Amino acid sequence: MIKDLSALADGPVSVSGWVDTVRDQKKVQFIVLRDESGAAQLVNPAVREPSVDLQTGADDAASADRFAITEAISTLAHGSFITVTGQLKKDERVKLGGLEIKLETLDLVTEALPETPIAADSGLDKRMDWRFLDLRHPKQNLIFRIQTTFLHALRTYWVDNDFIEIQTPKLMASASESRAELFEVEYFEGKAYLAQSPQFYKQMAQPAGFGKVFEIGPAFRADPSFTSRHATEFTSIDSELSWIDDHEDVMRLHEELIVAGFTAVKEKHGAEIVELFDVEVTVPSTPFPRIPLAEAKRIVAERGYEVPRADADLDPEGERRIAAYVAETFEHEFVFLTDYASSIRPFYHMRHANDPSLTNSYDLLFNGTEISTGAQREHRVEVLVEQAKEKGLDPEELGFYLDFFRYGVPPHGGFGMGLARVLMLMLHQASIREVTYLFRGPTRLEP
């Protein structure tokens, strides 16, 4: 790999990669060769016509080989994949890490078409059409190395704290909350639904005696939104744990996970993020600020913005306004908005003991955008039945779920968090399309 060259002594090497650029000068040719680990400069003294052996009249073999390489380089298209051998030489004058390879052989493994379908200034939709080419860019490559580091840090935290990883089914016989945002699919002689969250199944692990669980997996929402932060298929980060007192226990788990993930990303990729994204990753301090939703609306109103619907959540502008307040007041990028009204929360969220109009729940905002919802769950089956009816749900259709609570279940709670939103906001990107490997939305099912 190119990243390994700097550790080698000067001498013979072999590398492979994509042709990034070619400078074809009269006496010398330069190639910038890139693989997934980095880039290096290749140099070839150009031979524009082979020498002739004066004694035999035949082409000189060495000259002929060099001529063949020169001709091959002159016709190389951007993106062609080549394997070369040559002499590695460290030279601090070379911009690409001080690495230069004098070519001895060049093998054109696969030739790219001469016209590349996307350019640096191509629009987002065009880039998404040719995502495999878009992902070759070092900036895009870094996003998914960051994602790997972030998820590994979360998994490490969970495993070190005795959580069990589960994989829940994505085909469901009935809706988990309502059918409004569910994809219905044919399932043999009947119908099934694509899961919009693993909610019911991670709760099932609590009466099963798992205690603490987590899952990183796909979720589906039939939401015809075209915003920069919505997708019809996304990766959901979920966790659920037993023996909690209230949603404060869930929030403590949540912020500790965020700190673990951000710490790992900053330590491993911080310098590269500054170089390619011009962003300084900040590891947040704990505890994160906590503001009840009603107070957040009051603060936003005092700062000159009225949330359109008094009986609803903050809208995107309201989220940005409260985030600005938190940044100014607490110097923090995260904030928990707590105590949501039961009218805008799912039936399974536990309500306040002294005020049933409020729930033991929260949203987590990061840089002005909601990335997660969490709550203490209601574990008393008779209360669940009544709250489901209030939401217009038929308890008969929730039979398998309600059975979880008929045979003993501890107090528990958890959260679900969108991976792409976290990465988008961490790297200050304008759309989750930039940080999703292959985006799915209302008008995109390809590639």
Q: Can you say which residues are annotated as belonging to the binding site for ATP?
A: 370, 418-421
Which phi and psi angles does 143 have, rounded to 5°?
Answer: -55, -45
The answer to whether 322 touches 294, Cβ cutoff 8 Å, is no
- Facing residues of 376 across strands? 413
Which phi and psi angles does 213 have, rounded to 5°?
Answer: -135, 160
**Distance (Å, rounded) from C-alpha 349 to C-alpha 388?**
10
**Distance (Å, rounded) from C-alpha 118 to C-alpha 127?**
6
Which phi and psi angles does 296 have, rounded to 5°?
Answer: -60, -40
Which phi and psi angles does 320 have, rounded to 5°?
Answer: -65, -40
Give the three-state DSSP class for 37.
coil
Is the N-terminal amide bond of 287 cis, ω within 30° of 0?
yes
What pairing do the DSSP bridges indicate for beta strands 38-45 and 99-110?
parallel
Please state the residue numbers annotated as binding site for L-aspartate: 177, 221, 373, 377
Tokens of 377: 């769950």
- Facing residues of 42 across strands? 31, 101
Please state the residue numbers annotated as binding site: 177, 221, 370, 373, 377, 418-421
274-301 burial code (b ≥16 CB/10 A, e <16):
eebbeeebebbeeebbebebeebbebbe
